[in-house]
Amino acid sequence: MAYNRDAAVKYAAAYWNIPCDDGIFWLTNERINVAVKRRELKTPESEGWKALFVKGDGTEPEKAVFRRNIAGKTEEKLINGWAGLADCAHYLSRCLTAGGAKVDERGVRSLVNTLQARPDTKTLCEKVAKERAQNVINTGIFKPGDMIGYFNVSPSGDFDGRQSYTHSTMYVGKLDKLGVGGVTCHTVSRYPPFSWVNDSWWLHDGYVYTLIHLSSDDVKADLSLVNRVAGWWQQEYGGMTTYLRIGKDGTARIAKVVPKSANELVNLPIDNAYWFDGGLGRITLIWRKSGVVESWNPASGDVPFVGILNGSITGKLKKLF
């Protein structure tokens, strides 16, 4: 069954600043049951109390509360302050499940691992800098409903500078206030353009980024194009020559070693890629480790394609076998 992106994003729009439909949210090491908290704090829904994630007090980014408005006056009871709030993986699991991609994780690392292991996902780039990830997003292959993993590299970053996956979001497209790609998540809660914090997809410095694409609705490549591009190629960009083997299955591998025959496998690959049919005889390759984006545009005569690297560097392409 194809992933329903619209349903995933619609779910996010409904639940971005409230607990999910299962009635729970997660702290670092504890599950909060909203119904139980209602009884403890004497905040019945029948009396107008709503469970919300809202802007925190002072320098705290967020807090979880029950709120109601009585005769123009807001009343509030605290469920949990900023310390310990950690609901991003759980919230995104619920978004994905709403879209038909059933996932149930509460840790960021386990969410990333689970998504990467699925047969209906493609990791377009892994732990790359913001500029490289933006190039990937700009291809349009990364779509609303796809996922971003945030790997902290800052000594002053998340969880006392832990070098690990520390956050996750779902891309929702160019809906945010700045006109660039925005994301939704819990902790801190975001959904453009309603967020009280920055919801540009990169969030802030100190991360490298992993872009995971749900691929079940990808357009199947034209068979004539598949046959045209499959095989060994030599390419040169900026004076550097490399060799890549493009598969009929939408994958590619690249190396520095010259192949000797058409059936030779890639020896000591530098990187792996997925390639996509861009229409009108074009293809786009996205290299996982580097985040490099190649566009191959059809040419004529003895030159079948003209390559463009990261939107600016023109290369020479030659099919070997």
Q: Domain extents for the chain? A: 1-218, 223-319
Question: At 166, is the secondary structure helix, strand, or coil?
Answer: strand
E-strand ranges in the chain read: 24-26, 31-33, 50-55, 62-70, 73-80, 121-128, 147-152, 165-173, 182-184, 207-214, 231-237, 240-246, 251-255, 271-279, 282-287, 293-298, 305-309, 313-319
Q: Per-residue confidence of the chain (321 residues) as pLDDT tens digits?
A: 789 999 999 999 999 999 999 999 999 999 999 999 999 999 999 999 999 999 999 999 999 999 999 999 999 999 999 999 999 999 999 999 999 999 999 999 999 999 999 999 999 999 999 999 999 999 999 999 999 999 999 998 888 888 999 999 999 998 766 668 999 999 999 999 999 999 999 999 999 999 999 999 999 999 999 999 999 999 999 889 999 999 999 999 999 999 999 999 998 899 999 999 999 899 999 999 999 999 999 887 667 899 999 888 888 999 999
Instruction: Find residue 76's DSSP bridge partners.
Output: 67
Helices 88-98 & 5-15, crossing angle to 10 degrees?
140
Cβ pair 233, 318 in contact under 8 A: yes
pTM for the predicted model, two decimal places: 0.95
CA 257 and chain centroid, separation: 33
**Residue 31, CA distances (Å) to 15, 41, 158 in order:** 18, 17, 21
* Cβ-count burial 92-126 (b if 16+ within 10 Å, e if not): bbbbbbbbbbebebbbbeebbebbeebebbbbbbb
Q: Which fold has domain 223-319?
A: Lipocalin (2.40.128)
